[in-house]
Chains A and B, each alone.
Chain A
């Protein structure tokens, strides 16, 4: 066992930061699921809204990416 307690804390923090990705997963699933349930009710309008869906996915995903960024910062920068 080597290393100091600061490094241990950083690694635990990096692992905890990854739980934020679960939130992003819920968000992306919510966006796509609602898109799909709407699209199956009115398939003719679905094609025009796929771009909106991808924008929604991108915004939901951005917050998960921030938790990934925090994990990376803890691993390599702090």
Chain B
């Protein structure tokens, strides 16, 4: 019990110090050196301030870099095809095996046909997230515009696939035959709502997690300009950064695993 009390005390102390620092900063007219949301601004790469759909911006740059990293790992890294894999090749093989096992566990053997799609999504998101953690970089997956395209693609693919494979009997996904008959229309309504909320939660989850984590890091970076609490905020940035490395991977994993779950519903709609 002593340990948890101590942690609670430390957290409380931290909160008080931050509150006092905030009051001092506002009273003396100090502002944060930058706005925490500034890092998500999309800017044209080559000067100017007009953004058309074809303008190369920092978002396109970092998305392109993510694709290059995936190619470097999966194509160049495994090009030697060594029997005893080197470092790069073993990471590529681990990533492949990890996603392959995930698809096989959730969708079953007949889901493996769609493994390349899920592998593509997973590798792109994981590299976009990790590249976003580099200082001065840009997190493409923190933009809802990026994640919503991926989530809508998954949603449309899965819905169309369900109707192509099963025809009208795909709708039995919403008619739960295991439930008692009077309950089924109510459950059908809930199931339909939850089905159409899927792309929303799928995209907002990734974008929200990325955006919130990076904004928190920037808020603490803003506190680092106040000399009295600078060491504390640097320590906090370090801790949150470590958490963000974990979150980057877990969110990519969750995006891929939910794609598998939705795919499973399309392949086997009968409960």
Contacts and interface: CB of A to CB of B under 8 A. Distances in A.
Question: Do A and B assemble together?
Answer: yes
Interface of A: 51, 54-55, 57-58, 61-62, 65-66, 68-69
B180 to A, nearest CB: 24
B258 A65 contact: no
Nearest to B206: A65
7 contacts: A51-B257, A55-B258, A57-B254, A58-B254, A58-B257, A62-B205, A69-B204
Give the 7 A-B residue pairs with the shortest CB-CB distance, closest first: A62-B201, A58-B254, A65-B208, A65-B204, A68-B208, A65-B205, A69-B204
Contacts of B212: 68
Q: What DSSP secondary structure best describes chain B's contact surface?
A: helix
Interface string B82-126: 000000000000000000001001100000000000000000000
Nearest to A62: B201
Contacts of B205: 58, 61-62, 65
Interface of B: 102, 105-106, 201, 204-205, 208-209, 212, 250, 253-254, 257-258, 261
Nearest to B101: A51
A66 B204 contact: yes
Contacts of A61: 205
B126 to A, nearest CB: 15
A69 B212 CA distance: 11
Nearest to B106: A51
Contacts of B258: 55, 58
B5 to A, nearest CB: 19
Contacts of B204: 65-66, 68-69
A54 B201 CA distance: 15
A73 to B, nearest CB: 11
A54 B247 CA distance: 12
A55 B201 contact: no
Given A61-B205, A65-B205, A54 B250 contact: yes
Given A58-B205, A68-B212, 5 more contacts: A54-B253, A55-B258, A61-B205, A65-B204, A69-B204
A34 to B, nearest CB: 18
Given A66-B201, A66-B204, A54 B105 contact: no
